[in-house]
Structure 1
Amino acid sequence: MKLTIAAAGHSHIASLRDGRRRPDGAELEFVDPGPQVAAYRAMIREVAFDVCELAAATYMIARQRGAPFRALPIFLTRRFHPSNLMVRPDAGIATAKDLEGKRIGVRAYSITTAVWTRAFLQNALGVDLSRITWVVDDEEHVQGMALPPNIEHAAPGESLVSLMAEGRIDAAFGSAAGLGRTGKPGRGWESGADEDAYINLFPNALDLGANWYQQTGIYPFHGVIVVKDELLDANPWLAASLMNSFEAAKHDWLPDLRTRALTTKDDREYASLVPIVGPDPLPYGYRANRASIEAMMSSTVQQGLLPSGLSTTDYFSESGPCEETQSR
């Protein structure tokens, strides 16, 4: 069975990409839609792939609205928050509480980076999110969703880059979540502001995130693997097969972290997380990630993106590598 898959070029899935590893009973055909954010949008709106790496918050919102795919607890990207929250030098923002009453730019309100950052600001630092105006310059991946009243859309032709430069917003997310790009997701879109002109509000983000993790067990995840419902329903062995193949590919990569044979910025960042989270900085499986999954769900509810009363097991399979055995 051949499956199309859209996933970013992570080192920890390299042996799946080059065919050294493959799921039992299936062949993965990797496709390149451009930046992974473009794949998110194609999967949400067109169900364009059989398997896709999808932003976690976007997936949960889409699933609640009937999206015909389900997540396996394979978390391909992780990092601590807050990070890359850039402020203008003249904005009068020195602490997290100073964000109240200010205008903060973010590509779209529901992106996973923003959900995790707002969760940290609210739950760890006591920031009243309702007192912040969130300015967005792109559309939400999930169309037609209701947003809180303190969201403002940039006018056509305006971007967070220009708004920040002109002082019409006080702060903004960096990189692809905000200032690092202009326009809609597409090839070559990452051409944004010179972020060196601004101040990172949390230069000690790693320490803050590590403390939050040690206190709560929350280790924020971003990209998660989703699979079409029809494939999982027709092939009950497929979830375990995919889980085990991704786990095997990751174990091909883990020795690089131990030997410091690091070739990418992401790999170096994962190596820096090992002293905090342990020798595997990308744990898969439901049970190993339950605290983080529950935190993501509660955060989306707090922020008005999901209704209350939902169960995490409606969104994430409880099975993981070696957590249960399935046969085909």
Structure 2
Amino acid sequence: MTMQDPDLNSAGVDSAPLKLSLVIGDEPITAAIKRGDIKSDIVDLDIVQVTPVHTAFKPMARELCYDVCEMAIVTYLMAVDRGIPITPVPAVMLGRPQQPLFIQNRTFGTFGPKDLPGKRVAVRAYSQTTGAWIRGMLGDEYGVSFKDINWVTFEGAHVPDFDEPSWVIRAPEGRALLDMLKTGEVDAAITEKTADPALVPVIDDADAVAEQWAEAHGFSPVNHLVVIRTELVRQHPWLAEEIYRMLKASKDAAPAPAGRDPMPFGVDANREAFDLIARYAFEQGIVSKRYTTDELFEGTLRELN
């Protein structure tokens, strides 16, 4: 069943569906919508393939290049902070354990979280969502201040006009994150999982620790959601709900996750995760205030539960 569009069909006249560009990543929950299996009478989605999907976040945040786009939650927080006109949809496209993504090179010896002060930790960008989660966890779980670590970055924020804090330095031009970890130029890095046996988590038994963290908090860390150009939502008040419906139908068509769902849909289902990453982003100097979930999802999207 699809929504009826009061704007387009109130006169009983057949109207062409609203054509929209959509950028989302390749996950089991997105497969059905990307194949075109999820139908709508009022929206016609033009799927734009961007790989890796995070490379779409900067043009979306700076130029509104797409109509509907997956976006990192910290990028969205920074966009809100700058008044960038995008509207969130509480449909989690990526949620996952963070601790296994914080790695070190055991060729040069190993250490634990409490040994991090004074060490050099590489991360793609200071505002990267996984980095924000890990810095927050280091403080909450291990009492390690992110300000006592030397953060080495390789690119700036997705949004404009963000100055990196004083505890952040930029890697030399042309250097790659993993290469610097392998040569010992940095002590640890936040990156994707790697098959290199020399690269191991900083946190012992990281997978089990991540599961314990999720059990204690009642949720898995959220990385990505979906945003729509606000101009379109104002022109078509039904649009956010229809996009949410289509994404939810695509998720429902995928195999159900075993155990805890790392990518729940709805405002209330993600409230604690959104509140915590908003706190971390504020404490780490990424945004100017501590946003609440209700502020992030003002208006009609509160009903999407």
Q: TM-score surpassing 0.5?
A: yes
Q: Which has the higher strand share?
A: 2
Q: Which one-letter code corresponds to 2:148 in the other structure?
A: R
Which has the larger displacement, 306-315 or 151-160? Answer: 306-315
Q: Which residue of 1 aligns with 2:231?
A: 230
* Alignment equivalent of 2:78, drawn from 61, 76, 99: 61
Secondary structure of 1:314's counterpart equals: helix
TM-superposed deviation, 1:174: 2.6
TM-superposed deviation, 1:94: 2.4
2:73 is the alignment partner of 1:72: no
Matches within 5 A, 1:139-288: 139-175=156-192, 195-202=196-203, 204-253=205-254, 256-257=255-256, 271=257, 274-275=258-259, 277=260, 280-288=261-269
Q: Distance in 2 between matches of 1:282 and 1:91?
A: 36
Q: Which residue of 1 aligns with 2:8?
A: none
The percent identity for this pair of structures is: 28
Q: Distance in 1 between matches of 2:36 and 2:136?
A: 39
CA spacing shift, 1:317–1:28, aligned 2, 3 Å: farther
Please report the TM-score for the alignment, with normalisation by the length of structure 2: 0.87
Q: Distance in 1 between matches of 2:67 and 2:245?
A: 18
Secondary structure of 2:214's counterpart equals: helix
Secondary structure of 1:77's counterpart equals: strand
* Alignment equivalent of 2:119, drawn from 84, 102, 122: 102
Which has the larger displacement, 12-21 or 204-213? Answer: 204-213
TM-superposed deviation, 1:158: 2.2
Q: Which one-letter code corresponds to 1:80 in the other structure?
A: P
Aligned alpha-carbon RMSD (Å): 2.2
Which has the larger displacement, 55-64 or 86-95? Answer: 86-95
CA spacing shift, 1:309–1:292, aligned 2, 3 Å: closer
* Alignment equivalent of 2:130, drawn from 104, 113, 118: 113
TM-superposed deviation, 1:23: 4.0
Please report the TM-score for the alignment, with normalisation by the length of structure 1: 0.81
Q: Distance in 2 between matches of 1:322 and 1:129?
A: 36
CA displacement, residues 101-141 of structure 1 (integer Å, 9 cap, x when unaligned)? 10001111100111111111111222121110000122222
Q: Which one-letter code corresponds to 1:312 in the other structure?
A: T
8 Å CA contact retained: 2:241, 2:304: no
Matches within 5 A, 1:36-51: 36-51=53-68
Which has the larger displacement, 161-170 or 51-60? Answer: 161-170
Secondary structure of 1:242's counterpart equals: helix
CA spacing shift, 1:150–1:85, aligned 2, 3 Å: same
2:289 is the alignment partner of 1:308: yes
Q: Distance in 1 between matches of 2:81 and 2:41?
A: 30
TM-superposed deviation, 1:148: 1.8
